[in-house]
Homo-oligomer: A and B are copies of this chain.
Amino acid sequence: MAGVAVGGIALGAIGGYSLVTPKETIIEKEVEVPQEVPEYPWEYKKLDVEAVKDRAYAAYFDGGCAYGTFEGVVGELKEKVGFPYTTIPTKMAVWGKGGIVGWGLTCGAITGAGMALNLVTDNLALVNEIVGWYTTEEMPQYMPAVARKVEGELVKSVSGSPLCHASVSSYTDAADCEENSPERVERCGRLVADTAGKVAEMLNALADGTFTSTFQVPASVAECLSCHGADGPINNVFTKMDCTPCHGDPHTN
Interface hits, A81-122 → B, CB 8 Å: 82-84, 86-89, 91-96, 98-106, 110-111, 114-115, 117-119, 122
Residues of chain B within 8 A of A20, CB atoms compared: 19-22
Alpha-carbon distance A40/B91, docked complex (angstroms): 8
Size of A's binding interface in residues, CB under 8 A = 84
**Other CB < 8 Å A-B pairs besides A26-B27, A31-B33, A95-B118, 11 of them?**
A84-B87, A92-B115, A95-B117, A96-B114, A99-B106, A103-B128, A104-B241, A105-B110, A164-B239, A178-B230, A179-B238
- Pick from A54-62, A147-155, A167-175 the stretch touching chain B: A167-175
A154–B31 CA distance with the chains assembled, in angstroms: 52
Contacts of A94 in B (CB 8 A): 118, 122, 124
A1 / chain B contacts, CB cutoff of 8 Å: 31, 33
